[in-house]
Amino acid sequence: MKSLAVNVARVESRSPVWVGRGLVANAASLAEIQNYSRVVVISDMGARQVTDSLQAALKLSEQNILFIEGGESCKQIQALERLWNFFVKNRLDRKALVFAVGGGAVSDLVGFAAATYMRGIAYIPIPTTLLAQVDASIGGKSGINFGGAKNILGAIRQPVGIIVDVNTLASLSSRDLRSGFAEIIKHGLIADRPYFELVTSRAFSEWNAEELVEIIFRSCEIKRDVVEADESEQGMRKTLNFGHTLGHAIEALALIDGVPLTHGEAISIGMRAASYLSYRMGMLPAQELSAIIAGISKVGLPTRLPTHMEESKLLELMSHDKKNVAGTTRWTLLQGIGHAVFDQQVESPLIRDAIAEIQA
Ligand SMILES: NC(=O)c1ccc[n+]([C@@H]2O[C@H](COP(=O)([O-])OP(=O)(O)OC[C@H]3O[C@@H](n4cnc5c(N)ncnc54)[C@H](O)[C@@H]3O)[C@@H](O)[C@H]2O)c1
Ligand SMILES: [Zn+2]
């Protein structure tokens, strides 16, 4: 007999987050599916096994399930149209429920489809990558890419619940698992020093499943707290952007250079740069900067740029970031480990120094 309740921790919020092991088998009762008129599942092909278990748990027929190719390329308007068509074909009404099984790309796409169909129907993500479990599935932001710009069409609408089943990570590559740890480290850095110390005390691969449940649970709590304080990103939610101002430019340039980095790898390097800026601006003691670099490395993530990256290209890409307001980059920095401050203006020479600091 599998005991489900033991590992289930419920983060109390408008959208409950259930974190544990083996939760997919219990999805019908967690989601209280008897309250909905119809239930469908949109699934990442990369998470087929999870969807097979979910189909059995919900007693759905094949007509109620749509498999799509996961990953960034699914976040496009044609896929959205395919989902809306699928909803119509399944005669979903306002009382219907949509499950999204897969990585952050699938939850972004499905969240947007559900937010727009009939002006918004219920949806529940079942994230199957570590990044989606601790980040993308929490907070209600959804969206697709359009006209060459990332996440430019989207919505903010909270799911009715989030089922985080740590067992679904079993098939994830170790590079993707490690990548998800970058956001976990970020949560510690911006909000919880003891948590930062805990999660950087070992290599990412050394945690067992039970420990991962605890770690993921705390990350979900931190993200939930930030989102509940500032759903529409007027203030505090910007602290989640720590490491991302330069990190996004690093991620984009790596792709252009033909040697892609994962999001978490790029963000790790970006977090080192933002920590260095915090130090240079007199907000972060030198020994804390060293502890951050050592911690990121201990987990197994990079803290230096790939050798081929040029400063000028990074600066150029940063100037395109959609989070810029009227041409100035505003940074989230650290006022000591565990405390982030947003909207910090940083002068260009200092940004160049930070890039030099992270150069290989
Ligand atoms: N809405 C938000 O607040 C938010 C926050 C952070 C990131 N995001 C978005 O999340 C996306 C990135 O998400 P991601 O890192 O999960 O990557 P992803 O969704 O692109 O998935 C990466 C790959 O993993 C596969 N996959 C999924 N689950 C798997 C499993 N259990 N085993 C093996 N393979 C599996 C997918 O098929 C895909 O090929 C980006 O589009 C980003 O914009 C959104
Ligand atoms: Zn991120």
Nearest ligand to residue 322 Cα: 1
Q: Write 8-17 long-range contacts (CB < 8 A, 24+).
A: 9/213, 9/217, 11/217, 11/220, 11/221, 11/224, 13/224, 13/228, 14/158, 14/228, 15/140, 15/158, 15/159, 15/160, 15/161, 15/162, 16/161, 16/162, 17/138, 17/161, 17/162, 17/164, 17/220, 17/224
List, in order, residues 6 or more apart from 341 with CB less than 8 Å away: 239, 283, 332, 333, 334, 335
Decide if 358 contacts 272 (C-beta within 8 A). yes
Which residue's CA lies nearest to atom 2 of ligand 1? 136
Q: Mark out the alpha helices in the chain (DSSP H runs).
A: 27-31, 48-58, 77-89, 104-116, 130-131, 174-191, 193-199, 209-229, 244-256, 263-280, 286-299, 311-318, 348-358
Question: What burial class does residue 170 get, using C-beta atoms within 10 Å of its C-beta: 0-12 exposed, 13-18 middle, 19+ buried?
Answer: exposed
| CB count in 10 Å sphere of residue 45 | 14
Alpha carbons within 13 angstroms on the beta-carbon side of residue 146 total: 11
Which residue has 């990558």 as its token pair?
129
CB of 267 within 8 A of CB of 296?
Answer: no
Q: What pLDDT is recorded for position 46?
A: 97
Dihedral pair phi/psi, residue 266, rounded to 5°: -65, -40
Ligand 1 pocket, 296 CB below 6 A?
no
The token pair at 158 is 């909270």
Evaluate if residue 327 carries a pLDDT over 60: no
- Whether 244 is a known active-site residue: answer yes
Whether ligand 1 lies within 6 angstroms of the CB of 71 is answered as yes
Quick check: 20 pLDDT over 50?
yes
pLDDT digits over 194-214, tens only? 999 999 999 999 999 999 999
Question: How many CB atoms sit inside 10 A of residue 275's CB?
Answer: 28
Neighbours of 17 (CB within 10 A): 24
Query: Does residue 139 line the site of ligand 1, with CB under 6 A?
Result: yes
Q: Which DSSP category does 325 fall into?
A: B
Tell me the pLDDT of the chain averaged across its residues.
93
**186, 224, 237, 238: which is the annotated catalytic residue?**
237
CB 154 within 8 A of CB 108: yes
- Would you say residue 62 has pLDDT above 70? yes
Tell me the C-alpha distance between 7 and 83, whole Å.
Answer: 33
What is the reported pLDDT for 1? 20
| Shortest-distance Cα residue to atom 35 of ligand 1 | 46
Answer yes or no: 263 catalytic: yes
In the predicted model, is pLDDT for residue 19 greater than 60? Answer: yes
What's the pLDDT at 6?
Answer: 26
Domains of the chain: 5-172 (3.40.50.1970), 181-358 (1.20.1090.10)
Residue 100: per-residue pLDDT: 98
Q: Which residues contact 247 (CB under 8 A, 6 or more apart)?
A: 263, 266, 267, 268, 269, 270, 271
Neighbours of 104 (CB within 10 A): 25
pLDDT at 5 over 50: no
Listed range (199-203, 233-237, 265-269, 341-345) with the worst mean pLDDT: 233-237
Which of these ranges, 121-125, 236-240, 286-290, 318-322, has the smallest mean pLDDT?
318-322
Averaged over 227-239, what is the pLDDT?
88
- Specify the ligand 1 atom closest to the Cα of 264: 15
Give me ligand 2 centre to Cα 267, in Å. 7
Task: Show Cβ contacts of residue 130 under 8 Å, excluding neighbours closer than 6 positions.
Answer: 169, 172, 176, 177, 179, 180, 181, 184, 216
Question: Which residues have CB under 8 Å from 212's CB, separation 6+?
Answer: 166, 169
User: 302-316, pLDDT tens digit by residue?
Assistant: 999 998 899 999 999
pLDDT, residue 172, reads: 96
214 Cα–ligand 1 center, Å: 21
18 contacts 221 by C-beta, under 8 angstroms: no
125 in ligand 1 pocket by Cβ < 6 Å?
Answer: no
